[in-house]
Structure 1
Amino acid sequence: MLATMEQIEIINFAEQLANMIIQSETAEQYRRCYHKLYTDEQTKRKIQAFVQLKERYEEVQRFGKYHPDYKEVTRKIREVKREMDLDENVANFRRAENDMQQLLDEISRLIGHAVSPQIKVPTGNPFFDSLSSCGGGCGSGGACGCSS
C-alpha cells in the first residue's frame, strides 16, 4: 500500500498531538506520581507485600473456602490491600492515572465524533458514554435507540 501525502500529513498531525499530550501538565503529574510510587521505599515495601500475598491468595482461591488457609489469607489480603491503597503515593498515582485516562478518552471522543457522530468510541467512562444514545458495544439490540 502506498502512502499518500494526505496520510503522511495525518500521521504528522498525530505525532504533534502525541507530543502535546506528553508535554501536558496532566502527563507531567502522571510521571511525577509514577516516579514517587516506585522510588519511595515505604511505598515499594507495601506494594511488594501486596504482590507476594496476592500470589498466595490466588493459590488459595483455586480451592475456595475448602482451602485450609482460606479465611486467614482472605483477611490478610484485605488488610494489606487497604494499607497499600491508603498510601499517599499510591492514591496520588491512581488520581494522576485517572486524570490521564480521562484526557485520552476525551481526545478519542473528539476525534471519533469529528469524523461522524455515529462513531462509537469505547471510553469505559460513563460520562462520555452517556453523551450518545449508546456507549458502544450495545447489547440491547437497539433498545437504547442506537442503530446497532
Structure 2
Amino acid sequence: MPYAWSPIGQPFEVTAYSHSRRLNVLGFLSRAGKLVYHTTTEPVTTETVIEAFDQLVAQKDPDTFAVVVLDNASMHRSKAFRRKIGEWMSHRVHLVYLSAYSPELNLIEILWRQMKYAWLPLSAYLSFDRLCNEVYCLLGSYGVAHAINFE
C-alpha cells in the first residue's frame, strides 16, 4: 500500500500476509495513448521480458515503427534478450537504453506512478485478488476511463 490517511486515534489497518504475492506488469505506452501490457505473478525473468516484447510485435501495426525505451535492468542486457533484438528490429521495433538512474525519462514510469498513487483505490489493497482485479480494470480502461496527456 503506497500510503493512507486516517483520523487521529483510528489507524487504517490492512491485513499483513506472511507469504506476500506479487503482480508484475510489463508495459509499452505510446505518446498517442496506446498501451500494450503483459502481466505475471511469477518473478520477472529474461524469458518474461522476451514474451512481452513478442506480444508487442504481434499486436503492433506492421507498417509503423515502435521505439521502446528501456532501463538498464539485467534482463534487458542478457544474451537471450540481445539475440532477439535483430528479430524485433525486422518488425520495426527499435530499442533505446536510458542513461543509468533516470527512470523519470520513461513514459511508462509516469503511468505506473499514476496508477499506484492516484487511480488505485485503497480498497484494492485489502486482498491480492482485489488488487489484481483493480489493476486489470485500470489497464483495460486506459485510454477510455483513465489517460495521461503527454502534451
TM-score over 0.5 for the pair? no
- The interval holding the TM-score normalised by the smaller chain is under 0.3
Name which structure has the greater RCO, CA cutoff 8 Å, separation 6+. 2
More helix by share: 1
TM-score, normalization by structure 1: 0.22
- The structure having more radius of gyration, on CA atoms, is 1
